[in-house]
Amino acid sequence: MPTQTPGAWVEQWLSPPRFTRFLNECGGDRAKALATYEWNLRLAHALMRDVAHFEVGLRNAYDAAISQHWAGSQHWLLDAASPAKAPLWRRSHGQRVDINRRNRDEIAEAVVRAGGAGASPGGVIAELSFGFWRHLADTGHERTVWIPYLHHAWGSGVSRTKIDTATRLINAARNRAAHYEPLFFAQPGRGVMDVERQIVTLSSRLIPDLGTYIQQTSTVNSVFAQRP
């Protein structure tokens, strides 16, 4: 913690609204608010490491599950008939919406970043966002993606709804951490430690040894305990 009270330069750096959130959390104590900001940053880095491990495991498990059962002539991400790309119409707020339009756009952008027409499937996979993989297990994709493909990645007895809820929680926390937003404003059941438990639980379902590895090497618990 700083030995002197931080001056107005902190608001110039972080912006008044951003720093005010930490001031309010710390009862107006400027030194403690800045220390809490630094702690929040360390916590974000620790959490992002675990999310990254889970995200890589998730995308590779999903690719393996779909590829194993996909009968198309091209890799499922590149085939126009892919259940992740083909038009998929659902009702939303009284209108028909193609819920795969966003997927097609994201895949097309990933192909460009991965090298264009000659991009490898592995390169495209690495360019796709966490949100892309999360959405493949949402309600709209239950019949076209979850039932024929993705449930194989999780083993028997898994609930799509629970997987969707947990990955949404992890994705939301990931986005907050990536933008260095406060991680102490979460609602009950949605805090950092709740997210960490879900990361370990889901990783263990995908690859038991991965869940054990994350749990044994994570620094989230120790950083969380260091809150000013």
- pLDDT per residue as tens digits for the range 167-209: 999 999 999 999 999 998 778 889 999 999 999 999 999 999 9
Half-sphere exposure of 116 (CA within 13 A, CB side): 0
Residue among 228, 201, 208, 195 nearest 49 (CA): 195
For residue 93, what pLDDT is reported?
Answer: 83
Beta-sheet pairing, 95-98 with 89-92 = antiparallel
Q: Which residues contact 21 (CB under 8 A, 6 or more apart)?
A: 182, 185
SS3 content of the chain, % helix, strand, coil (to 5): 65, 5, 30
Is 18 within 8 Å of 42 (Cβ atoms)? no
- pLDDT per residue as tens digits for the range 2-46: 557 899 999 999 999 999 999 999 999 999 999 999 999 999 999
Is 210 within 8 Å of 57 (Cβ atoms)? yes
| Residue boundaries of the structural domains of the chain | 23-224
- pLDDT per residue as tens digits for the range 126-136: 999 999 999 99
Give the percent of the chain with pLDDT over 90: 92
Report which of residues 93 and 169 the model is more confident about.
169
Longest dimension (CA), the chain: 66
Q: Look at residue 83 and tell me whether its pLDDT is greater than 90.
A: yes
> What mean pLDDT value characterizes the chain?
95
Task: Work out the angle at residue 66's Cα, subtended by the Cα atoms of residues 65 and 68, and round it to the nearest 5 degrees.
Answer: 70
For residue 16, what pLDDT is reported?
Answer: 96
**Which tokens hold the place of 132?**
């892309």
* pTM above threshold 0.85: yes
For residue 4, what pLDDT is reported?
Answer: 76
